Amino acid sequence: MSQTESPASTNFVKEIINKDLASGRFDDRVHTRFPPEPNGYLHIGHAKSICLNFGLAEKYGGLCNLRFDDTNPTKEEDEYVEAIKEDVRWLGFDWEDRLYYASDFFQQLYDWAVQLIKAGKAYVCDLAFDQVRDHRGTLKTPGRDSPYRNRSVEENLDLFERMREGEFPDGSRTLRAKIDMASPNLNMRDPVMYRILHASHHRTGDKWCIYPMYDFTHGQSDSIEGITHSICTLEFENHRPLYDWFLDELNIYHPRQIEFARLNLTYMVMSKRKLLELVREGHVSGWDDPRMPTLCGLRRRGYTPESIRNFCKTIGVTKYNSLTDFALLENSVREHLNRVAPRVMAVLRPLKVVIENYPAGQSEQLDAVNNPEDPSAGTRQVPFSGELYIERDDFLEDPPKKFFRLSPGREVRLRYAYFVTCTDVVKDPKTGDVIELRCTYDPATKGGNAPDGRKVKGTIHWVSAAHSLAAEVRLYDHLFLKADPDDVSEGGTYRDNLNPNSLEVLTDSRVEPSLAAAEPGSRYQFERCGYFCADPIDSRRDRLVFNRTATLRDTWAKIAKKQNQ
Ligand code: ATP
Ligand code: MG
C-alpha cells in the first residue's frame, strides 16, 4: 500500500479483499475482470468499473481480465468489441493475454446445462416468454409452477438436444432451472437458462441456435477464469443467490461477488439503450460526439486518460446510489490540462483593432510563455502588428463598474505586448454595430510594463490580423437542460430535455500562427477562453477545427450573473 494513500483510496471493496487475503480464501490471489457487453461504446460509468477492476489488480499485484459478455447475438457487434478494446487501452490498462469471450465458453455452458438436467435441476419448458413472465408472480404473490416442470430427465435431455439441433422455432421453448416458484427473490423462480434464437453470433456464427441467458453465463465465466473478486453494480445484488445456486449445484470453483454503486452524472444519460437512441435519431453526430459521455466522445472533446482516472479515484466506491456533479469531471480535466496544456492565443469572436501610431507595414515577434505552470515548457514567439483582432467580449462602449477591459478612452495591456488606449469606435452605419476599434499604443510598454510605473487594470489577448489563421471552433455545452434528464412530465421522454444549444459552431475564429502545426487531438489552453483540442477527425492543416474541452472559470461571467439577479 502506498504511504500517501488518501481516505478516498481505501474503500469497502479493499476491506473485503484484505480480509480474504488474511484468511487465505483465494490462496493470496487477487484476480478481477472487466466484463462489458459489446452492444455499445464504453462510457464514463464503465471507466469507473475499469479503474476499479484494473486498479485493484494493480494495487494487489494481481491480474485483471477483459471479458466480453457476448450472449445476445442480436445486439452485439465486432465494431463494439474493437472500440471497447481501444478505449480500455486508451485509459491506460492492459489485459495482456487475458482476453476472453463468454462465447468461448458456450460448449462448457451447454455441458453444464446437461449436467443440471441429469441432476433433475433443470427442465425444458414449452411456455412462451410472456407466459413464463405471467407464471412468475409478483413481489407480493408467489409464482405458479409451469405445467412442464415435472418432465422426466430423459424427456428433458431429448428436448434440449433437439432445441440445440434447431428443430424448434424461436421462443417456442426454454430451458429453466428448477429452483423455487415461491421464492421471495423473483430471480430464483425457475429462471430461464437457455433460449432458442436462430441468429448469427458475431463470433460463433451459426454454430448455435440456442443461447445461454446472461444469468446462466456470468457466474460460470468468472468461475472458469478463476476470478477471485467478481465486482459488479448494485442491481446484481439480488442475482447473487442465483449465481451462487448455479455454482453450488455444478460444484465448481466459487468466486466472491461484490456489488458497488454505479456512476450517475448530472446532465447526462448513461444507459447504452438511450445513448444508442441519441446516435440513431441523430441528436448527436455519433458515439464519439464530444457531448456524449462515451470515452470516445470525451477523448474527442479533449479529455485525457489521466483526468478520467483521477476523476474515478476522486469519486471513490460506495454501496449507495447517488448522482455525481458533472462539474467534478470537468474540474478533473481542467486541473490536468492546467498543468500540461500549452497556452496559446486565439480569438473566438474577432473584433478588428487598428493601432494608428504603429509603423505601417511593420511587424515584430514577441516572447510568450508556453505554460506558467511548467517552466520547462519554455517560450515561443508571436507576431505583433498594427492590425489585430481582440475578443468582441473584451470591448464595451458603455462599460459597467468592474468591467476592466477595453472601452473608449481606456488603456489596457495586450498580453505579452504593449499598453493600448482606445481612441475611436467605428460602427456599421446601417446596424450601428461596432465593427472596428482605433487605438494608440505606447512603445515604451513593450513586454507589458510601463517604465513610469502606471498601471492598467485589464490584460486581454489578441492575434495579429495578417499573421493569424482562420479556425472553426466548436463550443459544447450540456447535452441536457436538466440535471436529471429523466425528470419529465407524464408521457414525456428524456429527449424532451435535450439542450437545443448544446453545440455552437464559430466559423470565423482566429488563432495564432503557431497552431498551424496543431496535431489532431492535441490540447491547448486558449488564454482566457478555456481548454481546446484540435478535433482528431475534422481538423487539418488547411482547415483547423478546435473543440472546447472545458471553460476556464470566468470571474466576469460570475459577476455579470450576480448583477442580473
Ligand atoms: P447498460 O445497462 O447501459 O446496458 P450495462 O451495465 O449493461 O449498461 P455492461 O457492458 O454490461 O453495461 O457493463 C460492463 C461493466 O461495467 C459491468 O460490470 C457494469 O457493472 C459496469 N458498469 C456499467 N455501467 C456502469 C456505471 N454507470 N457505473 C459503474 N459501472 C458501470
Ligand atoms: Mg450489463
* Residue 135 parent element (H or E): helix 129-135
pLDDT value of position 251 = 98
Ligand nearest 75 Cα, by number?
A: 1
- Closest by Cα among 476, 471, 473, 481 to 330: 476
Between CA 32 and CA 16 the distance in angstroms is 13
Atom of ligand 1 nearest to the CA of 236: 20
| pLDDT recorded at residue 564 | 62
Note the ligand closest to the C-alpha atom of 271: 1
C-alpha–C-alpha distance, residues 85 and 98, integer Å: 12
Nearest Cα residue to 67 out of 40, 33, 28: 33
Given its phi and psi angles, is residue 480 left (phi above 0), alpha (psi -120 to 50 degrees) or beta?
beta
222 alpha carbon to ligand 1 midpoint, in Å? 16
pLDDT in the model for residue 76:
83
Q: Is 233 in the pocket of ligand 1 (CB under 6 A)?
A: yes
pLDDT of residue 487: 95
Alpha carbon of 117 to ligand 2 centroid (Å):
27
pLDDT at residue 553, rounded to an integer: 81
Nearest to 465 by CA among 343, 545, 354, 348: 354
Beta bridge partners of 257: 230
Q: How far apart are CA 215 and CA 102, in angstroms?
A: 12
Strands 31-34 and 63-68: parallel
Q: Is 410 annotated in the active site?
A: no
SS3 content of the chain, % helix, strand, coil (to 5): 30, 25, 45
Catalytic site residue from 14, 25, 29, 37: 37
488 pocket-lining for ligand 1 (C-beta < 6 Å) = no
- Cβ–ligand 1 contact at 25 (below 6 Å): no
Q: Is the CB of 263 under 6 A from ligand 1?
A: yes
In this structure, which residue's CA is closest to atom 26 in ligand 1? 45
Among 33, 189, 272, 334, the active-site one is 272
Task: Name which of 368, 352, 295, 345 is nearest 530 in CA terms.
Answer: 345
Q: Which of 262, 279, 326 gets mutated to test ligand 1 (max ligand atoms within 8 A of its CB)?
A: 262
The closest alpha carbon to 95, from 57, 69, 59, belongs to 57
Instruction: For the chain, list residues with pLDDT below 70.
Output: 1-10, 554-565
- Cα–Cα separations (whole angstroms), residue 177 to 3, 4, 188, 249: 49, 49, 9, 11
Ligand 1 close to Cβ of residue 49 (< 6 A):
yes
562 tagged catalytic: no
Q: Where are the beta strands (DSSP E) in 267-362?
A: 343-344, 346-347, 350-355
C-alpha of residue 547 to centroid of ligand 1, in Å? 28
Cell numbers standing for residue 365: 515577434
387 is catalytic: no
Report d(CA 283, CA 274) in Å as an integer: 11
- Tell me, in angstroms, the distance from the centre of ligand 1 to residue 428's CA: 56
Residue 15: per-residue pLDDT:
96
Whole-structure pTM value: 0.94
Residues 200 and 204: their CA atoms lie apart, in Å, by: 7
